[in-house]
Structure 1
């Protein structure tokens, strides 16, 4: 039976490192299913029972010049700016030498060649080390090998200026890749940071604060108002509202009671609850989302696979052709050795992917700069290439197509006037931090109405809130509970049902057992959402909404936008939908929630 192992590889500064390491590890007997994720730096592989020892793998990877550690051993790296990294400082140093060399061209041209050569050789050091390490490990024909030979050859034939420029722009390309990868790693780490590092464990002696990693299935933990839930589980005591927006995308907090499931990383909005742990920290909702992100990132695109295969033949081919040109004419046709060695080196220099080395970083930089001026941050040139081939864009709802917070959309008065209805509602909700309460209070203030003093405010166990306003009992309740207090007329019932059919949440205002009216709330569309959908349609690109919200809300908003909708989706469901949508063409995913992360990583282009 295969034994799956995971190692952490430090020192990768470009995506080509993954193919190099994977190739070496795959050649070790007893090792199968090798996958290296450049973003997370995790090397995963299966070991057969006969070779159940990871030390040969560690030794082989370290021979390539990388540092290998076991999960849990790795210290958190300091957040360094690009100019503080070794590669950044090498780029700055090389740029300074090139500036000096170009100055010498103007004033002391006879010495400029030496400075160009020095700049090229200094910049070449890390590439030459990689080429040498790869050759020792059994991969002599890498892109670093070709660049190293080409640069040295260019210096040999007195083209030091060209050699130094080539290697300088090659370094810039690697630096840009390293910067994008570092930012991606921070994004992945932000997912893991959603889960609290500690939990309140309930024991016979009371509650004890313990590390969340120590929680076991069956443990009972206490979660207090405002705290994040540290583990997946089932509520065993109490009831509350749970904000699951970061996990499921549901815009409104959900009412939860005994027997309901809760997810790690979601927020307890109200009361104290006790939760029976169902999954350990390695298998909770956030961990599963992280795993889906890693798996999606590890799967190579067709273009990447093509480049990996092409490079296996291109590099040795160029070296062989160069050698034949340098050797055959002098050896078999009596030609001058110096002349043909020069031509062989020239072919080698031409064969070096200088055009890509020089143009790609410049094109990437230009595209990223243009995007930044328009508020877009793009991670590398692959995004610029892929976005033009997209046929369908999948949008998250909450915070992407919508504003991400509920707003009052309708105020329906059944008794009295609108001013009184809103003033009583604002008074009762003023002391609450619930998103719906905040929205109602904000609406009252915007209309210039007063927030009256309230006494004896209390929650009604998931059914609403109440308080004494000016000596009168005012209640804000759900339609169902309001119907238990006072009877709705047929017309009032139809009004409420019509609002609910539009995906709106209804808060009924009751004063002394008399229904004053209803307040409808919804997370509304952004002002530019409709026009954006129209622009996509005009460009021949389809759009679909993927949301964890309920079907009624999703259908109502999708109808306004004129797009497809898939509702009530968990993070893994969104991943499945992205795979299904890919059958219709290249898919881009746009989202902003943690629950969108796997789908963002799996799509051809992810935008957050």
Structure 2
């Protein structure tokens, strides 16, 4: 294999189980110049690496020959449908289209008759799909055969064979197409051999019933998989199709997908936000529940970010667009989840490897069951061939193959809808094994910005102290100044004008306010101007010990008051840390802040293990030390300053509100930066792994039971096919519980 020169993504129509995905991956992976093929049945997507773009048409041809539709997602245009000599047996929208004139609905469709899957389950009701129609036709043929057999017993055998062929011909053609692609051991192959073998031993009635039940099972698989796929596609539908573009003094309605960067849009109360952007005028409560799961509307004002798909609550907003439709928060979340679903977990990779050997072994087992007893003991050939055919049906690998990806896909989708993003099955699987979590302080356990916590007035009201301090800080962008101004705004304090304002380097700021000289600065700088009372000095020391920064306000040469500020813990930080402890996970705070402040915040949060005054390389070293103790370590940070530690951890988790950093730098991201979501992510992982274990038990358990009963002669072909299709439906339905 030569050097990879590019990657390509495709939408593949018609996949409804893990076996479908494996078949496509194997066929495409055999092509020269193609590598790293990843296929997800749940998202209906495929990605691959290629050496030369000229090799891509062969990829599309290989997929279509297997009976699936394929459309390039990077190029933007569906691949044309190739002519096939066979007549069509289904379309995509319930209408007939000519293949030589493909339109938007049919472009990229599979050659009809090869697969019979409902290629676009979300475009209409399931019962209107050609797959459903084929199943109903097979069922009707079976009922007709029973009726004809009752009326004309001599024609019974021929009637059941004809009924069987209605459903078997498409199945056999798919088996043949897969064999030509170098994949002879497929579920279609097993089904075809079993049905034809049943006819040979004069079990045509059962053969027809088994084919019908197989089609019913596939239909149910398709419906279940469509539900899982729709769960994440529903996110994309949150973004409105149109937007109100501001042009001078007027507005006009335009398609949301045509909005460019820095365009200005108007959002009315009750409207969904059509694009990511920054508010440039207006203030309103924004319902972010559709995107982040946040139940309480968030108040947004000028300078705040809004996300596409959220709902404007109460006032008109003017917003400057900061991301195009292809790159807004929802689009990136959908893209990330789809890519994550293509990245297989260790368990899924093991099941894939196992299934490649499993199907040939099943074929061999069926042959041995059919041949050995008659040869060795002189048993009845017909009876044991019948049992051998039943073994083939019992051994179909669909339920086993879908057991893991169905659960992982449902879990990743459920997490994404709640702002919990995990980049692939390996991350999802590893999250549940965490035994220690190292958390950054600033911006992770705390708000990431200081807030005024204490106002002590001496001879004045607290409002006066706040107003004078805000007057001095007006126009400043310093974090402490912004904290004072934010508190003044929140308290509704009227801020008087200041004149002759000037900053005194490293000490504070002074100005004339209401005819008086006012100074605001650090206690040491204030003590150089006036003598601080002993009780005030003691109070300042107490505040400092609590990790707070204190500013002293002087008016006319005397102390008027003090303001204390601190980067306060997030509202849910204590609850989030308790949740992690309840899961048996050790927590450690890692921060570059001073030891006194870190210890104060740690005490407030109930954390015993606090490491302070750390450089990035120190955080990385501590993570490695925790791993050396045998712990599985997760590192939670902002995705930039903590990059070395995030990379060193078993799982790196970024806290952020939909930024590029939060979505792209770490293994996982928590969109709305809630500490409690770390525990939710771990819980989701553990539930998923439990679900996978249940699925594997169901898949193998049913097969084991029916294998024994078949060899004993208790059950036959009908229960055998139910063991396969029934198990597949059961494990898929069980996995879909995770969507809740």
Matched, 1:87 2:140: no
* Alignment correspondent of 1:239: none
- Does 2:454 correspond to 1:454? no
SS of aligned partner of 2:568:
strand
Match of 1:599 in 2: 666
Aligned to 1:235: none
Deviations 1:264-298 (A, max 9, x none): xxxxxxxxxxxxxxxxxxxxxxxxx9999999887
Partner of 2:5: 4
Tell me the residue number matched to 2:247.
none
Aligned ranges for residues 378-457 of structure 1 at < 5 Å? 389-395=433-439, 401-402=445-446, 406-413=450-457, 416-426=460-470, 440=484, 443-444=487-488, 450-454=493-497
Could you tell me how far apart the structure 1 residues matched to 2:480 and 2:163 are?
A: 67
Aligned to 2:207: 156
Equivalents in 2 of 1:291, 1:100: separation in Å?
36
After superposition, give the CA deviation of every residue in 1:91-136 in whole Å (9 maximum; x if it has no partner). 45589889999x99xx99978xx9xx999999997x9887665444
Task: Give deviations 1:413-444, integer Å, cap 9, x for gaps.
Answer: 57755342123235566888998667545645
Q: In 1, Cα distance between the equivalents of 2:219 and 2:125? A: 9
The residue that corresponds to 2:316 in the other structure is: none
Equivalent residue for 2:225, pick from 160, 166, 174: 174
CA 161–513 in structure 1, closer or farther in 2 if over 3 Å, else same: farther
Q: Tell me the equivalent position of 2:184.
A: 140
Q: How far apart in 1 are the matches of 2:135 and 2:500?
A: 72
In 2, Cα distance between equivalents of 1:466 and 1:391: 52
Q: 1:410 to 1:347 in 2, by over 3 A?
A: same
Counterparts in 2 of 1:524 and 1:355: CA distance versus 1, 3 Å: same
Answering whether residue 580 of structure 2 is matched by residue 536 of structure 1, we say yes
Report the equivalent of 1:45: 49
CA distance in 2, matches of 1:183, 1:24: 31
TM-score (norm 2): 0.48
The alpha carbon displacement at 1:156 in A equals: 1.8
Q: Which has the higher strand share?
A: 1
In the alignment, is the contact (CA less than 8 A) between 2:550 and 2:564 conserved in 1?
yes
Q: CA deviation at 1:55?
A: 2.1
Residues 195-214 of structure 1, C-alpha deviation per residue, up to 9 Å, x if partnerless?
Answer: x96589xxxxxxxxxxxxxx
Q: Distance in 1 between matches of 2:165 and 2:600?
A: 62
1:513/1:556 CA distance change after superposition, 3 Å: same
In structure 2, the CA distance between the partners of 1:346 and 1:411, relative to structure 1 (3 Å rule), is: same
Take 2:346 and 2:418, find their aligned partners in 1: how far apart are those partners?
29
Q: Which residue of 2 aligns with 1:561?
A: 606
In structure 2, the partner of 1:258 is none
Cα distance in structure 2, aligned partners of 1:401 and 1:310? 43
> What corresponds to 1:256 in structure 2?
none
Corresponding residue of 1:249: none
Task: Flag the 1:473–1:124 CA change in 2: closer, same or farther, 3 A.
Answer: farther
SS at match of 1:571: coil
Structure 2 CA distance for aligned equivalents of residues 120 and 360 of structure 1: 33
- Equivalent residue for 1:67? 70
Equivalents in 1 of 2:20, 2:591: separation in Å? 37
| Inter-partner Cα distance in structure 2 for 1:181 and 1:85 | 17
8 Å CA contact 1:422, 1:444 repeated in 2: yes
Q: Trace 1:354-365 onto structure 2 (pairs within 5 A).
A: none
SS at match of 2:5: strand
- 1:209-261 CA-partner distances (Å, limit 9, x unpaired): xxxxxxxxxxxxxxxx989xxxxxxxxxxxxxxxxxxxxxxxxxxxxxxxxxx
Do residues 315 (structure 1) and 362 (structure 2) align?
Answer: no
> CA separation in 2, counterparts of 1:565 and 1:121?
70
Mapped to 2, the partners of 1:535 and 1:6 lie a distance apart of 41
Which residue number in structure 2 is paired with residue 254 of structure 1? none
Q: Is the Cα–Cα contact under 8 Å of residues 64 and 137 in structure 1 kept in the other structure?
A: no
Q: Is the 8 A contact 1:120 1:168 kept in 2?
A: no
CA RMSD of aligned residues (A): 6.6
- Contact residue 63 and residue 137 of structure 1 kept, 8 A: yes
Q: Confirm or deny: 8 A CA contact 1:406 1:522 kept in the other structure.
A: yes
Q: What is the deviation of 1:309?
A: 1.1
Matched, 1:571 2:639: yes
**Cα distance in 2 for residues equivalent to 1:516 and 1:140:** 87
Distance change in 2, residues 1:599/1:156 (3 Å): same
> Which structure 2 residues correspond to residues 297-308 of structure 1 after superposition, within 5 A?
300-308=344-352
Shift of 1:43: 3.8
Inter-partner Cα distance in structure 1 for 2:76 and 2:410: 39
Equivalent pair of 2:345/2:427 in contact (CA under 8 Å)? no
State the partner residue of 1:238.
Answer: none
Which structure 2 residues correspond to residues 109-508 of structure 1 after superposition, within 5 A?
134-142=178-186, 156=207, 158-159=209-210, 162-164=213-215, 166-179=217-230, 182=233, 198=261, 300-326=344-370, 339-353=383-397, 389-395=433-439, 401-402=445-446, 406-413=450-457, 416-426=460-470, 440=484, 443-444=487-488, 450-454=493-497, 469-472=513-516, 479=522, 499=543, 504=548
1:311-334 CA-to-partner distances (Å, cap 9, x unmatched) read 111122223323444466678987
Q: Are the equivalent residues in 1 in contact too, given 2:28–2:62 (CA < 8 A)?
A: no
Cα 1:226–1:340 change in 2 (3 A) is same
Q: Could you say what secondary structure the match of 2:454 adopts?
A: strand
Bigger mean CA offset, 388-397 vs 355-364: 355-364
Q: Distance in 1 between matches of 2:586 and 2:642?
A: 17
**In 2 relative to 1, CA 498–144 (structure 1 residues): closer, same or farther, beyond 3 Å?**
farther
- The answer to whether the 8 A contact 1:395-1:589 is kept is no
Query: Any idea what SS the aligned residue of 2:668 has?
Result: helix
Q: Structure 2: how far apart are the matches of 1:484 and 1:160?
A: 92
Say which SS state the counterpart of residue 310 (structure 1) adopts: helix
C-alpha contact 1:571 1:599 (8 A) present in aligned 2: yes
**Aligned partners of 1:11 and 1:67 also within 8 Å:** yes
CA distance in 1, matches of 2:357, 2:211: 28
- 8 Å Cα contact 1:474-1:510 kept in structure 2: yes
Partners of 1:501 and 1:556 within 8 A in 2: yes
* 1:562-592: CA deviation from partner (whole Å, max 9, x where unpaired): 165677666266565355443xxxx584744
Report SS of the residue matched to 2:7: strand
User: What is the alpha-carbon distance in structure 2 between the residues aligned to residue 500 and residue 144 of structure 1?
Assistant: 73
Question: Any idea what SS the aligned residue of 2:453 has?
Answer: strand
Larger radius of gyration between Structure 1 and Structure 2: 2
The 1:314/1:538 distance shift into structure 2, 3 A limit, reads: same
